Chain A
Amino acid sequence: MFVKRILIAAAALSYLGFLAVLGAAYFIGLKQASAWPPAGSGKAIDDKDLPKVEKNIQQLEKRLSGLLPKGLYIVIDTAENRLYVKNGKEVVRTAVVSCGSGVVLEEPGGKQRKWVFDTPRGEFSVKSKITNPYWVKPDWAFIEEGESIPKGLEDRIEAGTLGDYALGFGQGYFIHGTLYTRLLGRNVTHGCVRVGDDDLKAIFKSVPIGAKIYIY
Chain B
Amino acid sequence: MTKTRRLSALLVAGLVCLGSAAGTDKAGLAKKQSSLISEYSLAKDSNFYFVLDVLGRKLELRVRGMVLRSWPFQSMRFWGRPEFSGDVELIQKTALKAPKRIVIKPGGEPEKAEPAPAPPANPAEFDLDALEVKDMPKKFSLDFDNGLHIVIKSKKAASAGFLGALREIWGWYVDLPLRNLFGPHTGAGLSELELTFDNEKDGQSIYWHFFEGIKGIVL
Contact = CB atoms under 8 A, between A and B. Distances in A.
Interface of A: 21-22, 24-26, 28-30, 32-38, 40-45, 50, 53-54, 56-57, 60-61, 63-65, 67-69, 75, 77-80, 89, 101-109, 116, 121-123, 143-146, 182-188, 214, 216
Contacts of B37: 60
A167 to B, nearest CB: 19
Interface in B53-69: 61, 63-66, 68-69
A57 B32 contact: yes
Interface stretch (B137-145, B152-160, B176-184): B176-184
Contact of B43 (A64, A102, A216): A64
A196 to B, nearest CB: 13
Given A67-B44, A69-B64, A186-B124, A41 B31 contact: yes
B126 A101 contact: no
B33 to A, nearest CB: 5
A69 B64 CA distance: 8
Interface of B: 1, 5-6, 8-9, 12-13, 23, 26-34, 36-37, 39-40, 43-44, 46-48, 61, 63-66, 68-69, 78-83, 85, 101-108, 123-124, 126, 128-133, 174, 177-178, 180-181, 189, 204-205, 208-209
Contacts of A32: 80-82, 180, 189
Contact of A102 (B46, B48, B131): B131
Contacts, number: 188
Given A42-B28, A103-B130, A216-B209, 16 more contacts: A26-B177, A30-B5, A33-B5, A33-B6, A33-B8, A53-B29, A54-B29, A64-B65, A67-B64, A67-B65, A68-B66, A79-B133, A143-B106, A182-B123, A188-B128, A216-B63
A50 B28 CA distance: 12
Nearest to A124: B46
Contact of A37 (B1, B81, B82, B204): B82
Contacts of B1: 26
B8 to A, nearest CB: 7
Nearest to B179: A25
Contact of B65 (A38, A68, A105, A184): A68
Contacts of A144: 104, 106
A38 B104 contact: no
B158 to A, nearest CB: 21
A77 B8 CA distance: 41
A33 B8 CA distance: 9
A122 B46 contact: yes
Q: Which residue, A29, A77, A188, has most C-beta atoms of chain B within 10 A?
A: A29
Q: Which residue, B43, B105, B130, B133, has most C-beta atoms of chain A within 10 A?
A: B130
Contacts of A109: 107
Contacts of A30: 5, 8-9
B66 A89 contact: yes
B41 to A, nearest CB: 10
B82 A44 contact: no
22 contacts: A21-B181, A29-B80, A29-B177, A32-B80, A32-B82, A36-B78, A37-B85, A50-B26, A57-B33, A60-B33, A61-B36, A67-B43, A68-B65, A69-B64, A77-B69, A102-B101, A104-B102, A105-B106, A108-B105, A187-B132, A214-B68, A216-B68
